[in-house]
């Protein structure tokens, strides 16, 4: 009598939003946004200048998503929003980048 190998069920596909999170942590919730700006690879002050230009054409209440790779952009966007009166809704640190959400005043 030969023993049949047991077949295991397939592994579930990994969820990319949870792949790098500690066990038990929930993925960051990204706010809804109407406009996006990719400022990856740009160093200070370019991400702020591009965001300022993008915000200038938005209407009040619109949300701009800005993706940056410059680590200094976290503080830069906090100061920028405080100075301009726009609301910094959220900053989400992800591996290799930070995603900022700015609500146009």
CATH numbers and ranges of domains, the chain: 35-103 (3.30.110.40)
Catalytic-labelled residue, pool 27, 38, 40, 44: 44
Instruction: For residue 44, indicate whether it is catalytic.
Output: yes
**pLDDT at residue 18, rounded to an integer:** 46
Q: Which residues of the chain have pLDDT under 70?
A: 1-27
Share of the chain above pLDDT 90, in %: 70
pLDDT at 28: 74
In degrees and rounded to multiples of 5, residue 79 shows phi and psi of -70, -40
Q: What is the pLDDT of residue 24?
A: 54
Q: Which of 94, 45, 52 is nearest to 73 (CA)?
A: 45
Q: What is the pLDDT of residue 12?
A: 57
Q: What is the pLDDT of residues 28-55, one digit of tens each?
A: 788 899 999 999 999 999 999 999 999 9
CA distance linking residue 41 with residue 100, whole number of Å: 15
Sheet containing 63-68: which strands, arranged edge to edge?
35-39, 63-68, 97-103, 87-94
């Amino acid at each position: 009598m030969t023993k049949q190998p047991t077949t295991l069920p397939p592994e579930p596909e990994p969820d990319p939003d949870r792949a790098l999170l500690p066990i038990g942590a929930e993925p960051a919730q990204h706010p809804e946004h109407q406009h996006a700006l990719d400022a990856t690879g740009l160093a200070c002050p370019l991400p702020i200048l591009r965001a300022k230009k993008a915000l200038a054409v938005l209407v009040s209440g619109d949300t701009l998503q800005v993706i940056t790779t410059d680590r200094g952009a976290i503080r830069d966007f906090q100061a920028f929003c405080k100075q301009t009166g726009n609301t910094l809704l959220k900053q989400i640190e992800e591996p290799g980048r930070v995603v900022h959400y700015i609500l146009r005043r």
